[in-house]
């Protein structure tokens, strides 16, 4: 199931791009001060989305974990992201939004508690998933956002198709430690990639803002470490990391296609350890208290 959903991403992205005009409204009208909230995967999507929205000149945008947010500074709109639409902390966060602040929900399923609790709803039912481990829903939200903010993701979608048709260019048995580094909006992707490795493969993974990796965490890098750099290449950082014996990967792909490759990596690492990505240990599709 997870593999099938990973493979479906080019089709799902095309549909997400087509829905971008509606989406841009729900993600905050230009000039609005927006806060984006979510849990787990959706918290990382919130982080990336906040950077993308602000960078596109749409207005000040913050992101926070729904589970930790308490109202403080004022916003025109709070946008919550939840594939299931049932996550308790997201629902509780919506309940805390001050009177007069508009609320939007981006969900995979209409009629769910989160969808019902928000003033406006964007339902990406075509991106909904059966799997516990999220793959195409988060990427669809980001394709929709980027398209809505003026990017053309046709080439990235073609890149994803080509990447999916080729074998993953990594020998997963050579590594036991997986590190993902990102900058600006791709830091959210790096965190999401590391979460995939933990969820699907129960393997040791970490994520950092790229340049911060040298400020301590690099101490545990070694020959069994695979370090993936999202976004732009950085030869100086790469050389520094390679000195530890680690392997550094940077594909010249759209960062969302890099995330697709990380999702595939998680499935392959799981398989190499005798695990099934469809049945991750200790996890449920959404956390409902």
Number of residues forming the site for ligand F1P (CB under 6 A): 16
Pick from 272, 289, 12: which is nearest to 138 by CA? 12
DSSP secondary structure letters along 110-136:
TTSHHHHHSSEEEE-GGG--SSSS--H
Q: Determine if 103 is a binding residue for ligand F1P (CB under 6 A).
A: no
Q: Please give the angle made by the CA atoms of 161, 167 and 172, to the nearest 5 degrees.
A: 130
Which is closer to ligand F1P, CB of 91 or CB of 241?
91
Complex with ligand F1P: residue 275 or 283, whichever CB lies closer: 283
Q: Which is nearer to ligand F1P, 135 or 159 (CB)?
A: 135
Q: How far apart are CA 54 and CA 60, in angstroms?
A: 6
What three-state secondary structure class fits 187?
A: helix
Residue 192 CB, nearest approach to ligand F1P (Å)? 9
Contacting ligand F1P (CB under 6 A), which of 56, 109, 132, 253?
132
Are the CB atoms for 28 and 34 separated by under 8 Å?
yes
Among 2, 134, 159, 191, binds ligand F1P (CB under 6 A): 134
In the stretch 227-266, what mask flags binding to ligand F1P with x, by CB under 6 A? ----------------------------------------
Q: Is position 283 an interface residue for ligand F1P (rule: CB under 6 A)?
A: yes
Q: Specify the residue for token string 């001050």.
A: 98
Q: What's the distance, CA 77 to chain centroid? A: 21
Between 31 and 70, how does the x/- string for binding to ligand F1P read (CB under 6 A)?
Answer: --------xxxx----------------------------
Cβ neighbours of residue 197 under 8 Å, at least 6 residues apart?
Answer: 178, 203, 204, 205, 262, 265, 266, 269
Residue (246 or 265) nearer to ligand F1P, CB: 265
User: What is residue 217's DSSP assignment?
Assistant: G
Give whichever of 89 and 248 is closer to ligand F1P, judged by the CB atom. 89
285 binds ligand F1P (CB under 6 A): yes
**CA separation, residue 194 to residues 22, 58, 163, 210, 279 (Å):** 31, 29, 20, 14, 18
Report the C-alpha gap between 229 and 144 in whole angstroms: 23
Closer to ligand F1P by Cβ: residue 188 or 241: 188
198 binds ligand F1P (CB under 6 A): no
Closer residue to ligand F1P, CB minimum distance, 28 or 38: 38
Does 112 bind ligand F1P (CB under 6 A)? Our answer is no
Nearest residue to ligand F1P on Cβ basis = 40
Distance of CA 198 to the CA centre of its chain: 14
Binding residues for ligand F1P (CB under 6 A): 39-42, 82-84, 87, 90, 132-134, 283, 285-287
């Amino acid at each position: 199931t997870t593999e099938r959903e990973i493979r479906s991403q080019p089709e799902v992205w095309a549909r997400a791009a087509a829905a971008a005009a509606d989406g841009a409204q729900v993600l905050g009208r230009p000039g609005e001060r927006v806060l984006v909230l979510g849990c787990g995967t959706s918290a990382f999507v919130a982080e990336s989305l906040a950077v993308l929205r602000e960078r596109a000149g749409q207005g000040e945008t913050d992101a926070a974990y729904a589970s930790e947010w308490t109202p403080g500074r004022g916003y025109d709109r709070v946008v919550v992201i939840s594939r299931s639409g049932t996550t308790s902390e997201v629902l509780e966060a919506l309940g805390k939004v001050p009177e007069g602040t508009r609320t939007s929900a981006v969900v995979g399923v209409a009629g769910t508690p989160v969808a019902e609790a928000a003033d406006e709803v964007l339902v990406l039912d075509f991106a909904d998933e059966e799997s516990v481990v999220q793959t195409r829903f988060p990427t669809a939200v980001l394709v929709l956002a980027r398209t809505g903010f003026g990017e053309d993701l046709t080439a990235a979608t073609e890149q994803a198709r080509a990447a999916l048709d080729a074998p993953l260019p990594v020998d997963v048995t050579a590594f036991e430690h997986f590190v993902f580094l990102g900058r600006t909006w791709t830091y959210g992707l790096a965190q999401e990639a590391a979460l995939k490795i933990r969820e699907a493969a129960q393997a040791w993974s970490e994520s950092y803002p790229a340049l911060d990796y040298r400020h301590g965490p690099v101490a545990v890098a070694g020959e069994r470490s695979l370090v993936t750099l999202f976004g732009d290449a950085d030869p100086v950082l790469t050389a520094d990391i390679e000195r530890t014996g680690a392997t550094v990967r940077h594909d010249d792909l759209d960062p969302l296609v890099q995330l697709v490759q990380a999702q595939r990596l998680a499935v392959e690492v799981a398989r190499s350890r005798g695990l099934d990505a469809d049945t991750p240990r200790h996890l449920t599709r959404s956390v409902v208290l």
